[in-house]
Amino acid sequence: MPDVNPEKTSPDPVINCAECMKAVQSSEAYSPEGIDHRIGFCSTECYEAWSRKAGKAPGGAQSEK
């Protein structure tokens, strides 16, 4: 069993926003429903910007080009 020190282990890890790379607590990160993998954003604005770049409309639907 690995030696885990509870004082060194954060119960709420920090993740980076997938769009702007800002550090944010995972409990505070915006994570859209229906996404296939765990990804977080610091705000809905970053999620929408990421969605536009990925060619997807918010909510997982493909945007028309």
Determine the pLDDT at residue 23.
92
| pTM higher than the cut 0.75 | no
| Residues 13-64 pLDDT 10s | 888 999 999 998 888 887 777 655 667 899 999 999 998 998 876 555 554 4
Note whether 34 and 23 are within 8 A (CB): no
